[in-house]
């Protein structure tokens, strides 16, 4: 009976060690991906120019008409011009 308890304990320790290793790998992988996304969006938001077609996170397309600091004037298909935060822009087409 004592043998069974030792086996269960050693299996539990091995499983716990595996879970800790997996957690560390996931954390490192997440940090690397986050840094890539931050770099992408930093470049995207600094490269905005009038005339570019952009895509918003909500799936709306528009054309950049002007940029005033954090605000970007976007013309949508209907012809309306809306002011949006430059950080709402997901992609330059």
Average pLDDT rounded to a whole number, residues 71-82 = 90
If asked whether residues 14 and 55 sit together in one domain, one would say no
Do 1 and 29 fall into the same domain?
yes
- Are both 58 and 27 inside the same structural domain? no
Domain that holds residue 63: 49-93
Alpha-carbon Rg for the chain, nearest whole angstrom, is: 25
Question: pLDDT tens across 22-67, in order?
Answer: 999 999 999 999 999 888 888 877 888 899 899 988 888 999 999 8
Query: Is residue 72 domain-shared with residue 61, that is, in the same domain?
Result: yes
CATH of residue 69's domain is 2.30.30.140
Distances (CA, A) of 88 to 16, 18, 37: 42, 40, 14
For the chain, the domain total comes to 2
84-87, long-range: CB < 8 A, 24+ apart: 84/56, 86/45, 86/48, 87/41, 87/45
Q: What's CA 62's distance to the chain center, in Å?
A: 21
Please check whether residues 38 and 69 belong to one and the same domain. Answer: no
């Amino acid at each position: 009976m004592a043998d069974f308890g030792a086996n269960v304990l050693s299996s539990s320790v091995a499983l716990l060690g595996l879970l800790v290793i997996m957690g560390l790998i996931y954390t490192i992988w997440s940090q690397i991906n986050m840094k890539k996304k931050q770099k992408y969006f930093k470049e995207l938001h600094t490269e905005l120019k009038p005339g570019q077609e952009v895509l918003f996170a909500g799936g709306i397309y528009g054309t950049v008409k002007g940029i005033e600091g954090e605000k970007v004037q976007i013309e949508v298909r209907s012809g309306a011009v809306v002011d949006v935060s430059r950080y709402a822009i997901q992609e330059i087409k």
